[in-house]
Protein backbone atom coordinates (compact mmCIF):
# COMPACT_ATOMS: atom_id res chain seq x y z
CA UNK A 1 0.00 0.00 0.00
CA UNK A 2 1.25 3.45 -0.82
CA UNK A 3 1.44 5.55 2.36
CA UNK A 4 1.49 8.94 0.64
CA UNK A 5 -1.44 10.37 2.58
CA UNK A 6 -2.31 13.99 3.08
CA UNK A 7 0.23 15.83 5.28
CA UNK A 8 -1.92 15.82 8.42
CA UNK A 9 -2.47 12.09 8.15
CA UNK A 10 0.95 10.96 6.97
CA UNK A 11 2.89 11.63 10.17
CA UNK A 12 0.35 9.71 12.19
CA UNK A 13 0.17 6.88 9.70
CA UNK A 14 3.94 6.40 9.57
CA UNK A 15 4.15 6.08 13.33
CA UNK A 16 0.99 4.02 13.68
CA UNK A 17 1.23 1.20 11.14
CA UNK A 18 1.76 -1.43 13.81
CA UNK A 19 -0.89 0.10 16.03
CA UNK A 20 -3.39 0.08 13.14
CA UNK A 21 -2.83 -3.64 12.69
CA UNK A 22 -3.56 -4.09 16.36
CA UNK A 23 -6.57 -1.83 16.00
CA UNK A 24 -7.94 -3.95 13.16
CA UNK A 25 -7.68 -6.99 15.37
CA UNK A 26 -9.22 -5.14 18.28
CA UNK A 27 -12.21 -4.22 16.17
CA UNK A 28 -13.02 -7.90 15.72
CA UNK A 29 -15.39 -9.36 18.35
CA UNK A 30 -13.34 -11.01 21.06
CA UNK A 31 -13.69 -11.97 24.68
CA UNK A 32 -10.90 -10.90 26.99
CA UNK A 33 -11.58 -12.24 30.45
CA UNK A 34 -8.83 -10.18 32.01
CA UNK A 35 -10.37 -6.98 30.73
CA UNK A 36 -14.08 -7.85 30.78
CA UNK A 37 -16.23 -4.71 30.56
CA UNK A 38 -18.63 -3.84 33.34
CA UNK A 39 -22.41 -4.05 32.91
CA UNK A 40 -22.64 -0.28 32.45
CA UNK A 41 -19.90 -0.35 29.83
CA UNK A 42 -21.67 -3.19 28.04
CA UNK A 43 -24.92 -1.24 28.07
CA UNK A 44 -23.25 1.89 26.71
CA UNK A 45 -21.50 -0.10 24.01
CA UNK A 46 -24.74 -1.80 23.04
CA UNK A 47 -26.55 1.51 22.86
CA UNK A 48 -23.77 3.01 20.71
CA UNK A 49 -23.66 0.01 18.42
CA UNK A 50 -27.41 0.05 17.97
CA UNK A 51 -27.40 3.64 16.72
CA UNK A 52 -27.13 3.76 12.96
CA UNK A 53 -24.23 5.69 11.46
CA UNK A 54 -25.19 9.07 10.03
CA UNK A 55 -25.42 9.50 6.28
CA UNK A 56 -22.04 9.80 4.58
CA UNK A 57 -20.28 8.25 7.60
CA UNK A 58 -17.92 5.27 7.57
CA UNK A 59 -17.17 5.12 11.29
CA UNK A 60 -17.85 6.81 14.60
CA UNK A 61 -15.29 7.11 17.39
CA UNK A 62 -16.77 8.13 20.72
CA UNK A 63 -19.54 10.07 18.95
CA UNK A 64 -17.09 11.71 16.51
CA UNK A 65 -18.00 10.85 12.93
CA UNK A 66 -15.48 9.91 10.24
CA UNK A 67 -17.09 10.73 6.93
CA UNK A 68 -17.03 9.08 3.54
CA UNK A 69 -15.54 12.30 2.19
CA UNK A 70 -12.57 11.99 4.55
CA UNK A 71 -11.97 8.41 3.47
CA UNK A 72 -12.28 9.33 -0.21
CA UNK A 73 -9.75 12.11 0.28
CA UNK A 74 -7.31 9.71 1.95
CA UNK A 75 -7.70 7.25 -0.93
CA UNK A 76 -6.96 9.97 -3.49
CA UNK A 77 -3.95 11.17 -1.53
CA UNK A 78 -2.52 7.65 -1.32
CA UNK A 79 -2.07 7.44 -5.11
CA UNK A 80 -2.73 3.71 -4.80
CA UNK A 81 -5.32 1.59 -6.62
CA UNK A 82 -8.72 2.02 -5.00
CA UNK A 83 -9.46 -1.41 -3.52
CA UNK A 84 -11.57 -2.62 -0.57
CA UNK A 85 -8.37 -3.61 1.23
CA UNK A 86 -6.92 -0.12 0.81
CA UNK A 87 -10.13 1.51 2.05
CA UNK A 88 -10.21 -0.75 5.10
CA UNK A 89 -6.59 0.05 5.93
CA UNK A 90 -7.08 3.80 5.47
CA UNK A 91 -10.32 3.77 7.48
CA UNK A 92 -8.45 2.10 10.35
CA UNK A 93 -5.77 4.77 10.10
CA UNK A 94 -8.41 7.48 10.28
CA UNK A 95 -9.91 5.77 13.33
CA UNK A 96 -6.47 5.56 14.91
CA UNK A 97 -5.86 9.24 14.18
CA UNK A 98 -9.14 10.18 15.86
CA UNK A 99 -8.32 8.01 18.87
CA UNK A 100 -4.95 9.74 19.16
CA UNK A 101 -6.58 13.15 18.85
CA UNK A 102 -9.13 12.43 21.53
CA UNK A 103 -6.54 10.97 23.89
CA UNK A 104 -4.24 13.95 23.37
CA UNK A 105 -7.10 16.40 23.93
CA UNK A 106 -8.16 14.58 27.10
CA UNK A 107 -4.59 14.89 28.39
CA UNK A 108 -4.59 18.62 27.51
CA UNK A 109 -1.80 18.37 24.93
CA UNK A 110 -3.49 21.24 23.14
CA UNK A 111 -2.06 23.60 25.79
CA UNK A 112 1.55 22.45 25.41
CA UNK A 113 3.90 25.11 24.11
CA UNK A 114 5.12 23.20 21.08
CA UNK A 115 1.55 22.37 20.06
CA UNK A 116 0.40 25.97 20.46
CA UNK A 117 3.39 27.14 18.38
CA UNK A 118 2.68 24.60 15.63
CA UNK A 119 -0.99 25.59 15.50
CA UNK A 120 -0.05 29.26 15.29
CA UNK A 121 2.43 28.55 12.50
CA UNK A 122 -0.16 26.57 10.52
CA UNK A 123 -2.68 29.37 11.06
CA UNK A 124 -0.17 31.96 9.84
CA UNK A 125 0.60 29.98 6.69
CA UNK A 126 -3.06 29.40 5.87
CA UNK A 127 -3.96 33.02 6.57
CA UNK A 128 -1.08 34.35 4.44
CA UNK A 129 -1.92 32.08 1.53
CA UNK A 130 -5.56 33.12 1.64
CA UNK A 131 -4.56 36.80 1.76
CA UNK A 132 -2.23 36.47 -1.23
CA UNK A 133 -4.88 34.64 -3.24
CA UNK A 134 -7.21 37.58 -2.70
CA UNK A 135 -4.72 40.43 -3.07
CA UNK A 136 -2.31 39.29 -5.79
CA UNK A 137 -4.08 39.90 -9.08
CA UNK A 138 -1.79 39.14 -12.02
CA UNK A 139 -2.58 40.85 -15.29
CA UNK A 140 -4.18 38.37 -17.69
CA UNK A 141 -1.95 37.03 -20.46
CA UNK A 142 -3.67 37.36 -23.82
CA UNK A 143 -3.08 35.47 -27.05
CA UNK A 144 -1.64 38.68 -28.45
CA UNK A 145 0.86 38.86 -25.58
CA UNK A 146 2.02 35.32 -26.30
CA UNK A 147 2.39 35.98 -30.04
CA UNK A 148 4.31 39.20 -29.36
CA UNK A 149 6.69 37.34 -27.07
CA UNK A 150 7.22 34.66 -29.71
CA UNK A 151 7.95 37.25 -32.39
CA UNK A 152 10.35 39.10 -30.10
CA UNK A 153 12.34 35.94 -29.38
CA UNK A 154 12.45 34.92 -33.04
CA UNK A 155 13.76 38.38 -33.90
CA UNK A 156 16.78 37.84 -31.66
CA UNK A 157 17.79 34.51 -33.21
CA UNK A 158 20.74 34.30 -35.53
CA UNK A 159 21.55 32.15 -38.51
CA UNK A 160 23.15 29.44 -36.37
CA UNK A 161 22.48 27.95 -32.96
CA UNK A 162 24.97 26.38 -30.56
CA UNK A 163 24.92 23.60 -27.98
CA UNK A 164 27.60 24.68 -25.50
CA UNK A 165 29.22 23.26 -22.39
CA UNK A 166 30.88 25.49 -19.81
CA UNK A 167 33.30 25.32 -16.92
CA UNK A 168 33.11 28.27 -14.52
CA UNK A 169 35.76 28.87 -11.85
CA UNK A 170 36.50 31.73 -9.48
CA UNK A 171 40.17 32.48 -10.24
CA UNK A 172 42.44 32.73 -13.27
CA UNK A 173 44.95 30.17 -11.97
CA UNK A 174 42.32 27.44 -11.75
CA UNK A 175 40.98 28.40 -15.18
CA UNK A 176 44.42 28.09 -16.75
CA UNK A 177 45.00 24.80 -14.95
CA UNK A 178 41.76 23.43 -16.43
CA UNK A 179 42.72 24.67 -19.91
CA UNK A 180 46.11 22.95 -19.66
CA UNK A 181 44.41 19.67 -18.78
CA UNK A 182 42.00 20.07 -21.70
CA UNK A 183 44.91 20.64 -24.09
CA UNK A 184 46.41 17.37 -22.83
CA UNK A 185 43.23 15.51 -23.72
CA UNK A 186 41.34 15.51 -20.41
CA UNK A 187 37.59 14.99 -20.59
CA UNK A 188 35.66 18.27 -20.52
CA UNK A 189 32.64 16.85 -18.69
CA UNK A 190 34.76 15.29 -15.95
CA UNK A 191 36.66 18.53 -15.42
CA UNK A 192 33.36 20.40 -15.22
CA UNK A 193 32.15 18.03 -12.52
CA UNK A 194 35.44 18.43 -10.65
CA UNK A 195 36.06 22.17 -10.92
CA UNK A 196 33.05 24.06 -12.23
CA UNK A 197 30.92 26.27 -10.05
CA UNK A 198 28.68 27.20 -12.95
CA UNK A 199 25.34 26.00 -14.33
CA UNK A 200 24.76 22.26 -14.75
CA UNK A 201 28.21 21.38 -13.43
CA UNK A 202 26.90 18.03 -12.18
CA UNK A 203 25.87 17.21 -15.77
CA UNK A 204 29.29 18.06 -17.17
CA UNK A 205 28.45 21.70 -17.78
CA UNK A 206 26.20 20.95 -20.79
CA UNK A 207 23.71 23.75 -21.55
CA UNK A 208 20.67 24.08 -23.83
CA UNK A 209 20.75 25.27 -27.42
CA UNK A 210 21.29 29.02 -27.82
CA UNK A 211 21.31 31.39 -30.79
CA UNK A 212 22.40 35.00 -31.22
CA UNK A 213 21.86 37.43 -34.05
CA UNK A 214 25.29 38.52 -35.25
CA UNK A 215 27.05 40.82 -34.91
CA UNK A 216 26.21 40.63 -31.22
CA UNK A 217 24.21 43.62 -30.04
CA UNK A 218 23.76 44.66 -26.38
CA UNK A 219 20.45 43.40 -25.06
CA UNK A 220 20.10 40.71 -27.75
CA UNK A 221 22.11 37.97 -26.06
CA UNK A 222 19.34 35.74 -24.61
CA UNK A 223 20.40 36.83 -21.11
CA UNK A 224 23.96 35.68 -21.70
CA UNK A 225 26.73 38.13 -20.74
CA UNK A 226 27.85 39.78 -23.97
CA UNK A 227 31.52 38.66 -23.74
CA UNK A 228 30.37 35.02 -23.51
CA UNK A 229 28.02 35.38 -26.49
CA UNK A 230 30.77 36.98 -28.56
CA UNK A 231 33.24 34.25 -27.66
CA UNK A 232 30.78 31.45 -28.36
CA UNK A 233 29.83 32.49 -31.90
CA UNK A 234 33.50 32.62 -32.88
CA UNK A 235 34.13 28.96 -31.99
CA UNK A 236 33.74 26.17 -34.55
CA UNK A 237 31.98 22.95 -33.56
CA UNK A 238 34.03 20.91 -31.07
CA UNK A 239 36.35 23.80 -30.23
CA UNK A 240 37.22 25.05 -26.75
CA UNK A 241 37.91 28.70 -25.97
CA UNK A 242 41.66 29.32 -26.11
CA UNK A 243 41.58 31.55 -23.05
CA UNK A 244 39.20 31.98 -20.11
CA UNK A 245 36.46 34.56 -20.60
CA UNK A 246 36.19 36.78 -17.53
CA UNK A 247 32.72 37.91 -16.48
CA UNK A 248 32.73 39.75 -13.18
CA UNK A 249 34.76 37.67 -10.73
CA UNK A 250 34.24 34.41 -12.64
CA UNK A 251 36.25 32.80 -15.43
CA UNK A 252 34.40 30.83 -18.11
CA UNK A 253 35.75 28.12 -20.40
CA UNK A 254 33.45 27.40 -23.36
CA UNK A 255 33.12 24.46 -25.70
CA UNK A 256 30.79 24.17 -28.69
CA UNK A 257 29.46 20.62 -28.55
CA UNK A 258 27.22 21.08 -31.61
CA UNK A 259 26.48 23.79 -34.15
CA UNK A 260 23.65 23.84 -36.70
CA UNK A 261 21.37 26.19 -38.63
CA UNK A 262 18.85 27.69 -36.23
CA UNK A 263 15.71 25.63 -35.90
CA UNK A 264 12.79 27.90 -35.02
CA UNK A 265 9.81 26.05 -33.51
CA UNK A 266 6.39 26.85 -34.92
CA UNK A 267 4.24 29.18 -32.84
CA UNK A 268 1.77 26.41 -32.02
CA UNK A 269 4.62 24.34 -30.59
CA UNK A 270 5.96 27.14 -28.42
CA UNK A 271 2.85 29.02 -27.31
CA UNK A 272 1.98 26.95 -24.23
CA UNK A 273 5.48 27.25 -22.75
CA UNK A 274 5.58 30.96 -23.57
CA UNK A 275 2.20 31.52 -21.93
CA UNK A 276 3.40 29.85 -18.73
CA UNK A 277 6.50 32.06 -18.73
CA UNK A 278 4.43 35.21 -19.18
CA UNK A 279 1.95 34.14 -16.49
CA UNK A 280 4.82 33.53 -14.06
CA UNK A 281 6.25 36.96 -14.85
CA UNK A 282 2.83 38.54 -14.32
CA UNK A 283 2.44 36.72 -11.00
CA UNK A 284 5.87 37.87 -9.80
CA UNK A 285 5.13 41.44 -10.87
CA UNK A 286 1.77 41.47 -9.09
CA UNK A 287 3.29 39.98 -5.95
CA UNK A 288 6.08 42.56 -5.98
CA UNK A 289 3.48 45.33 -6.25
CA UNK A 290 1.62 44.02 -3.18
CA UNK A 291 4.89 43.92 -1.25
CA UNK A 292 5.77 47.45 -2.38
CA UNK A 293 2.38 48.79 -1.25
CA UNK A 294 2.70 47.11 2.14
CA UNK A 295 6.23 48.43 2.64
CA UNK A 296 5.08 51.98 1.93
CA UNK A 297 2.70 51.84 4.87
CA UNK A 298 4.92 49.90 7.24
CA UNK A 299 7.58 50.81 9.75
CA UNK A 300 10.44 48.36 9.26
CA UNK A 301 13.59 48.32 11.36
CA UNK A 302 16.59 46.17 10.45
Cα 267 from Cα 287, distance rounded (Å): 29
pTM of the full structure: 0.58
Main-chain phi, psi angles of 12, to 5 degrees: -65, -45
Cα 234 from Cα 227, distance rounded (Å): 11
**Which residue from 233, 222, 225, 219 is spatially nearest to 153, judged by alpha carbons?**
222
Cα 2 from Cα 14, distance rounded (Å): 11
Answer yes or no: are the C-beta atoms of 166 and 224 closer than 8 Å. Answer: no
Q: What is the mean pLDDT of residues 11-40?
A: 51
* Tens digits of residue pLDDT in 43-63: 555 555 546 888 899 999 999
Residue 206 DSSP class: B
Answer yes or no: are the C-beta atoms of 162 and 211 closer than 8 Å. Answer: yes
Burial class (CB in 10 A: 0-12, 13-18, 19+), 102: middle
* Tens digits of residue pLDDT in 127-182: 999 999 999 999 999 999 999 999 998 998 999 999 999 999 999 999 999 999 99
The overall average pLDDT reported for the chain is 87
Query: What per-residue confidence (pLDDT) applies to 278?
Result: 97
Domains of the chain (ranges, CATH numbers): 7-28+53-126 (no CATH), 136-156+266-302 (no CATH), 158-261 (3.10.50.40)
Query: What per-residue confidence (pLDDT) applies to 43?
Result: 56
* Tens digits of residue pLDDT in 98-121: 999 999 999 999 999 999 999 999
Banded model confidence at residue 260, pLDDT cuts 50, 70, 90:
very high
pLDDT over 70 at 15, yes or no: no
pLDDT over 70 at 190, yes or no: yes
**Which residue from 105, 169, 17, 201 is spatially nearest to 177, judged by alpha carbons?**
169
Amino acid sequence: MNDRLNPSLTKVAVRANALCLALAAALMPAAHAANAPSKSEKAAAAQSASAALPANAVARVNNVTITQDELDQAVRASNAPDTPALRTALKNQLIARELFRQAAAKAHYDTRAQVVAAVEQAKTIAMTQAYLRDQVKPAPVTDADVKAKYDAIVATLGENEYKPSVIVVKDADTANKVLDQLKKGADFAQLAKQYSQGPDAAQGGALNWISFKTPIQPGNTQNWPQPLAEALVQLPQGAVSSAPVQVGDAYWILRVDQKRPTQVPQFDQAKDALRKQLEQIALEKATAQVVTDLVKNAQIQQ
